[in-house]
A and B are shown apart, each in its own frame.
Chain A
């Protein structure tokens, strides 16, 4: 259906339709973010032998995040007097928009996909890089030394970890021979890439956690030891936008991991009667759970450990993985 719409001639009706679909999808994402935050707090609570939110919205605290967001939205909008006003306003938008844009290439099931880009994976990685600019802009525009340092630190981290992230994916691309995410899913019909490319999967998982600025790589925020980082001066809905960007990226990154390494909507053998979207959701939830689990377990890395781990461990490993994959593929092809 989407393919036909993309090929259709541009008119007002189609524009309106696209807008409606995007808005509906945004609502789904917001719903995910709401309950991902709740799930995170609940799981972390259970891991720390407490119950987590349980006051607002019944015993399970189902409306806790809704109440939190409502509070953020009605908060006073403060912009520091000496801040760079246009950039300060632009920064949350710059950080959030790419997070939503990257979702367009993710195939959620056989039929539920938005754009079938030939360079889907490249698109994802290129667009997600823009968020770094948003964060750096936020740090700069705040006119606050802590915010600037925090922005620099997170930019350094995100750029450093983007490289192993991309490198680890190249193994998958080599085996598939395509950057199209649909074809990557189709190539995993028999074996998911997690079994063929386990090293790439581990590198990808670690680098994606670092990209998402989550514990143990949450130095840009470091709630318990720093003054917040790049978003110190932000409050109310501008701050909410940074949080939103972070959790939309969680959604996007977990989706991408599912697509690249867990076989997307492909079912486990003999269970093909369950629809693809359910498989996708299950694998997706597993990845999100693993991320929360890691957050609940590991302590934060030091800044120098973080950098040397990215450059001295992950990058060489990823490169070695590419070479090995290429050599093995050539050997198999030649026989």
Chain B
């Protein structure tokens, strides 16, 4: 009998307690800073070392470089940079390996699209994806 009333009291108290659910699609979700979200790419920092494409376990990164337009300078600059998010597992290895931090993780995670083609993100898209960047990579 006592347990019965105890339960009733508990549920009555719950009425005014703060809700544990998120109002997610209306209010954006805050992810912790070590969250592995969609990458942000800085074309000007990239030295076309190809390490990200090599380390990628799913081979989802394809990149091409071209000669530096200034003939006095050595090295290459990036020409195209694509990540295929159909197969990307957001493992964080490309950002770990990048010597210049030209590719970093963000906290964005919404990748739902109506077509598979739209999951193929190019250099421009990855450059524009510059919200919620991982704080320790901020430059």
Contact = CB atoms under 8 A, between A and B. Distances in A.
Contacts of B11: 47, 293, 296-297
Interface stretch (B17-25, B67-75, B86-94): B17-25
B14 interface: yes
Interface string A38-61: 000001001111110000000000
A298 interface: yes
A293 B8 CA distance: 7
Interface string A288-300: 0000011011100
A298 B15 contact: no
A49 B12 contact: no
Interface residues of A, number: 12
Given A46-B15, A47-B15, A297 B10 contact: yes
A12 B20 CA distance: 59
A294 B4 CA distance: 10
Contacts of A51: 19, 21, 23
B7 interface: yes
Given A297-B7, A298-B7, A48 B12 contact: no
Interface in B27-42: none
Interface string A79-99: 000000000000000000000
Nearest to A48: B14
B18 A49 contact: yes
Chain A binding surface SS class: helix
Contact of A49 (B7, B8, B20, B23): B20
A267 to B, nearest CB: 26
Given A297-B7, A297-B8, A297-B10, A50 B21 contact: yes
Contacts of B7: 297-298
Contact of A50 (B4, B10, B12, B19): B19
A47 B21 contact: no
Nearest to A296: B11
Contacts of B8: 293-294, 297
